[in-house]
Each structure stands twice: as structure tokens, then as C-alpha cells.
Structure 1
């Protein structure tokens, strides 16, 4: 049976700041992120299965990514919890803003690593996460490949 890759794309708006950075991104700002999620597996061959012919139902993949990433990160601001931005984070939270505190510098590179773990933990055992592409701007993106992380 042939392995097939399928991809679903998502978009969300997220703010962040890079503490200690030597450029403009040290300031709180936001991006219109685009996330492409590619999984790999064998299409279901049991013709009595309602998912016959599918690697995974796009609706099932959408549910996982929405719950783990889009619903949490959309219109939230992400800060490293071990930086002085914690004071700003607490102020924003006290005013009803969605703030996510993470263990890492919230770069696209680190976010895509975090997203890969979140998605992998939720996929059925028969499906493998192949790659993620997190696009921060029209010309800048970070990619994660399972084959690079064995």
C-alpha cells in the first residue's frame, strides 16, 4: 500500500515579543501566521469504513490542530515566562487579554517545535506527522520535518 501525505492549512493572529533581541522584534507586535500541517499514512482500505480511502479525515485533523493551536494562540500574546515580560503579561491578563506563557523564546522556530509536539501527541497511532510550516510573514517561515528529528 502506498503512503500518502495530506496537508491542511490554518491561519491565526498572534502577538509576541522577543526579550533581549537586538532588533524591532523586541517590541510587542503581531503576525498573521499561516500553518501548514502535513501527515503521512496509508489510506483506509476497508470499504465498510466510513473513512474508506482516507489517510485521515480532514475534519479530524482540523479538530486536533484547532484545539491544540488555533483556538489557543489566535488573538493571544505569547511571552517567554522567564523574562521581564512577565510583568506586562500579568498586566494584560488582569485586563482580560489572552496571554500564553511559554518556556521558550517565542520565535517561529521554537513555536513550530512546540506545535509539532502538541499535534503528534493527538494523532492516531496509524498516522505520522510528516512536517509543519509556520509562515510568519509573506517571505519568512520556519519548517519542522519528522525526518530531521529522529
Structure 2
């Protein structure tokens, strides 16, 4: 049976700041992120199975990504907990309930690693995470491929 890749696209809005950065992104700013999640597996080959012919129901993939990423990061401010931004987070929280402190610099590169770990843990054993693409802007994005990981 053939291995097939399926991809689901998601949009979300997130603000972040890069502590210690030498450019404009040291300031709190936001992005309209576009996330593409691709999984790989063999389509179910069982005429009596309700999901016959599917690698994974797109709706099931949507539930995983929505609960692990979108519901958490959409319209949130993401800051590095290991930086003085932790103090800033406590001030922002009194005005906004969605502040996320992460243990990394919240770049697209680090966010995509975090996302890959979260999504991989929730996928059924019959499929694997193949790749993720995270657009920070229309012309700038980070990519993660399972085949590149050691």
C-alpha cells in the first residue's frame, strides 16, 4: 500500500517579542501566522471501517492542532520566560488573559519545534508527523521535517 501525505492549513494571530534581539523585533509586535501541518501514513483499507480510504480524517487532525496550538497561541502574547520579559508578562496579564511564557526565544524556528513536539505526541500511531511550515509573514517562513531530525 502507498504512503500518502495529507496537509491541513491553519491561521492564527500571535504577538511576541525577541529579548536581546538587535532589530525591531525586540519590541512586542504581532503576526498573522499561517501553519501547514503534513502527516504521512497508509490509507485505511477496510470497506467496513467508517474512515476507509483515509490516512486520518482531516477533522481529527484539525482537533489535534486546534487543541494543542491554535486554541493556545491564537491572540496570545508569547514571551521568553528566561528573560526579563517575564516581568513584562506579569504587567500585561492584568490587561490581557492570554500571555504565554515559553522556555525559548519565541522565534518561528523555535515555535515550530515546540509545535512539532506537541502535535507528534497526539497523533495516532498509524500516522507520523511529516512536516510543518510556519509562515510568519507572506514571504518568510520556517519549515520542520521529521526526516531532518536525529
Q: Separation in 1 of the partners of 2:97 and 2:3? A: 43
> Within 5 Å, which residues of 2 pair with 1:9-28?
9-28=9-28
4+ residue stretches of structure 1 with deviation over 3 A?
none
Cα distance, 1:93 vs. partner?
Answer: 1.1
Q: Separation in 1 of the partners of 2:91 and 2:138? A: 32
* Aligned equivalent of 2:64: 64
* Aligned equivalent of 1:103: 103
Cα distance, 1:139 vs. partner?
Answer: 0.6
Cα distance, 1:88 vs. partner?
Answer: 1.2
Q: TM-score with structure 2 length normalisation?
A: 0.99
* Aligned equivalent of 2:29: 29
Alpha-carbon RMSD: 0.6
Q: How many residues align?
A: 150
Q: TM-score with structure 1 length normalisation?
A: 0.99
Q: Separation in 2 of the partners of 1:135 and 1:97? A: 25
* Aligned equivalent of 2:116: 116
* Aligned equivalent of 2:133: 133
C-alpha offsets along residues 108-150 of structure 1, whole Å, 9 cap, x if unaligned?
Answer: 0000000000000000001000000000001100000000003
Q: Separation in 2 of the partners of 1:87 and 1:29? A: 17
5+ residue gaps in structure 1? Answer: none
Q: Secondary structure of the residue that 2:138 maps to in structure 1? A: coil
5+ residue gaps in structure 2? Answer: none
C-alpha offsets along residues 50-107 of structure 1, whole Å, 9 cap, x if unaligned?
Answer: 0000000000000000000000000000000011111110011122330000000000
Q: Separation in 2 of the partners of 1:86 and 1:96? A: 15
Cα distance, 1:36 vs. partner?
Answer: 0.1
Q: Separation in 2 of the partners of 1:61 and 1:71? A: 14
